[in-house]
Homo-oligomer: A and B are copies of this chain.
Amino acid sequence: MILMRLAVVQTNPVFGEVRNNLAAALAMMERERADLYVLPELFNTGYNFIDRNEVQKLSEPVPGMTSQSMAAFAKERNCFVVYGFAEKSEGIFNSAALVGPEGVVGVYRKVHLFDRENLFFTPGDRGFPVFDLPIGKIGIMICFDWMFPESARSLALNGAQLIAHPSNLVMPYCPDAMVTRCLENRVFAATTDRVGRENRGGFDLSYKGMSEIVSPRGEILRRLGTDKEEIAVLEIDLEAAKNKKINSQNDLIANRRVDQYSLQ
């Protein structure tokens, strides 16, 4: 058994208030001990950008102010954190960083950009990475990636036992769909959404909350509410995600029949 304490940290960031959003998230994280904290997509900047200039201004490199604060927390608590942010690099990416006691472990860049994100961000270019940590094998995808079954499937085939899934959900489908994603891949998932509303530049977005932890058997182990900041911590056994057999005959990974598919 690899027992680990997994936290989903459902926040309500204020657009553009990077330092305050970071401080608010850390305050919530300090209330609960965990081995891995998963925060929302773009948790420090807010989501509803009006133009590319705003994204440029609020983005930051890695390492940067946010990664350093998270790394300090991770070092003090001997834990890991996955959080979404706007990554300033050779482009600006909608990214999620994985930070641990030694600093930045890796970054995932969102592959499937949603709606107006396409106007502001560069599409991810590093596939779906899985990080082999002492607590288990952690894969990352971001929000709308859920809608493409190839995302979670790639993570599972890359060895993920848990999918950390920072999100800013504006459509209603994801929380139930993640049950299917976990069932079909026999993995855990931690979908961390935000709550609140951002009405900017004529675009009025309300975030759905409902952050959740789902098991490889498709059980919703915990689902948060739709309108409050909240942190949930569960102890889970990531070993359960190694067993892809659902009966004596069927292994959901080994039984894939790639030669029969038409996936190009």
Q: Which residues of A approach B to under 8 Å, CB–CB?
A: 111-119, 123-128, 144, 147-151, 153-154, 157-158, 173, 176-177, 179-181, 183-184, 218, 247-250, 252, 255-258, 260-264
Contacts and interface: CB of A to CB of B under 8 A. Distances in A.
Q: How many copies does the complex hold?
A: 2
Given A148-B256, A218-B173, A263 B183 contact: no
Nearest to A129: B262
B256 A118 contact: no
Contact of A111 (B144, B249, B257, B264): B257
Contacts of A256: 148, 150
A126 B247 CA distance: 25
Given A127-B261, A256-B148, A260-B127, A114 B250 contact: yes
A55 to B, nearest CB: 15
B154 A262 contact: yes
A262 B147 contact: no
A116 B247 CA distance: 9
B127 A262 contact: yes
Contact of A115 (B113, B124, B248, B258): B248
A263 to B, nearest CB: 6
Contacts of A177: 179-180, 183-184
Contacts of A181: 180
A70 B218 CA distance: 38
A264 B258 contact: yes
B150 A112 contact: no
A251 to B, nearest CB: 11
B218 A184 contact: no
